[in-house]
Amino acid sequence: MSIGDDEEPLTLPDSPRFRVFDGNYTSLLGQLLNPDCQSMARMIDYMPTAWRVYERVRGIALSRDRFQFIFQREENLQTVLKDRPWSYNHWAMVLERWAADSPPDFLRYMEIWIRIRHIPMKFFTGDTMYKLASEVGHVEEIAYDPKVSHTKDYIRALITFDTENSAKASRKLTFKCPLLRNASKPAIPSISASSGKEKSSSETAPSLAKNVVAEAPPGFLPMFPELPPQEQRAALLYVSHSDDT
């Protein structure tokens, strides 16, 4: 028995008997993203249990990596769609509702939530999060509100991921830091006892000694109460002196 390549293709009759529409209306189509590590038969047996719809759904293997699940109830189908993405044997699968006229890129894209971590404090903005998430896929939502408290160490983002692109567990972030080009040194707040002329530290210390008083504010005990007034001034000068020696 031989197979000829010159035979005419088989054409099915244009009859409702050869088409399924009503039965497919409550069904999902899916694709395994790593069929080498995902057994189709085992996945079809397992997923109804994971979805908690055992004996209320049946699965069909359409090819090595594509499958269909037909649900008895619409609400069960909607629950499975709402809780996407799903995975089997540590690898993801794409799930979409059956459509009579599916687009050419059907089962190519999937919506997933990603986590963005370790954002530098000075770049912790919505625009930064959007930029980082857009490097993974098309951004649908950024779960961040700058007006409320944020208790997690990551930011969640919902993206549409192209399954034909390679997926990575994480990506590193680099950024440019602009340098300050102000030639003048920043002003340092300070308290000065001078009356106008700049003085050296050796000249300033004696003037501070004259102005230091041993009296304490109302309600507070004076410092070094056991010392005479003159020695109190010397002690206050010692503890307030700017010279470490």
Domain range summary for the chain, segments of one domain joined by +: 21-97, 109-162
**What confidence tier does 87 reach under pLDDT thresholds 50, 70, 90?**
very high
The topology under which CATH files domain 21-97 is: Alpha-Beta Plaits (3.30.70)
State the pLDDT at residue 210: 41
- Residue 2 above 90 pLDDT? no
**Is the pLDDT higher at 4 or at 175?**
175
Among the ranges given (106-110, 209-213, 238-242), the one the predictor scored with the smallest mean pLDDT: 209-213
**Is the pLDDT higher at 28 or at 7?**
28
- Residue 80 above 80 pLDDT? yes
**What confidence tier does 5 reach under pLDDT thresholds 50, 70, 90?**
low
**What confidence tier does 39 reach under pLDDT thresholds 50, 70, 90?**
very high
User: pLDDT digits over 107-148, tens only?
Assistant: 999 999 999 988 888 899 999 999 999 999 999 999 999 999
Contact (CB, 8 A) for 96 and 84: no
Residues constituting the chain: 245
**Is the pLDDT higher at 213 or at 168?**
168
- pTM metric for this prediction: 0.60
Contact (CB, 8 A) for 156 and 115: yes
Q: Which residues pair with 59 in a beta bridge?
A: 69
The two tokens of residue 194 are 């001078």
Of 167, 158, 156, the residue nearest 117 (C-alpha): 156
Classify each residue of 131-152 as buried b or exposed e, where b means 16 or more C-beta atoms within 10 Å of its C-beta.
ebbeebbebeebebeeeeeeee
